[in-house]
């Protein structure tokens, strides 16, 4: 299907494309910057800057449950992966929290105020955080 036909179909159905999640995002705790961009046909996010400069802040993935991965640097680490667009929501992804060493089923959604709602779930329990666009 051509671009024009797809666009007309979208207009006819009343669907609106999901706001762009690509770019640089400041985490909710303001301790890191994550760049979200395409990874093949899906979206992913990498830690591109660690803003927490306090002493004893680890520079490696020390909380990873796999001891073989505990020495990998946090800088450049993929913390979001596998997201596909479904209307206004990016779903089917995973989010990794290096502070706990856990990964979660996750969705991403740009809120009306421009923040990014990052929701992580374990079983049926979900929590959301708000990230702000940094660039």
Residues 39 and 97: their CA atoms lie apart, in Å, by 19
Q: Render 63-77 in DSSP notation, one character per residue.
A: T-SSGGGTTSBSTT-
> What does pTM read for this prediction?
0.83
pLDDT of residue 17: 61
Domain positions in the chain are: 16-133
pLDDT of residue 61: 97
Asked whether the predicted pLDDT for residue 8 surpasses 60, the reply is: no
Neighbours of 4 (CB within 10 A): 8
Of 106, 107, 108, nearest to 122 by C-alpha is 106
| Band of pLDDT at residue 19, cut at 50, 70 and 90 | confident
- Structure tokens belonging to residue 7: 């666009």
Cβ distance 106 to 95 under 8 Å?
A: yes
Residues 4 and 8: their CA atoms lie apart, in Å, by 6
**Percent of the chain beyond pLDDT 70?**
86
Of 47, 1, 57, nearest to 26 by C-alpha is 47
Helix (H) or strand (E) holding 10: helix 3-13
Residues 114 and 19: their CA atoms lie apart, in Å, by 9
| CATH topology for the 16-133 domain | Lipocalin (2.40.128)
The CA–CA distances, whole Å, from 93 to 2, 35, 67, 75 equal: 28, 15, 24, 20
Note the pLDDT tens digit of each residue in 53-106: 888 889 999 999 999 999 999 999 999 999 999 999 999 999 999 999 999 999
């Amino acid at each position: 299907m051509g671009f024009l036909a797809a666009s007309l179909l979208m207009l006819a159905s009343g669907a609106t494309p999901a706001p762009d999640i690509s770019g640089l995002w400041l985490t909710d705790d303001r301790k890191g910057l994550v760049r979200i961009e395409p990874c093949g046909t899906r979206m992913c996010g990498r830690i591109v800057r660690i803003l927490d400069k306090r002493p004893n802040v680890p520079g490696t993935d020390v909380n990873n449950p796999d001891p073989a991965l505990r020495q990998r640097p946090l800088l450049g680490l993929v913390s979001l992966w596998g997201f596909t667009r479904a209307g206004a929501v990016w779903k089917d992804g995973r989010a990794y929290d290096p502070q706990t060493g856990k990964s979660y089923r996750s969705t991403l959604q740009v809120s009306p105020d421009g923040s990014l709602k990052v929701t992580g779930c374990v079983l049926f329990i979900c929590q959301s955080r708000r990230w702000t666009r940094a660039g």
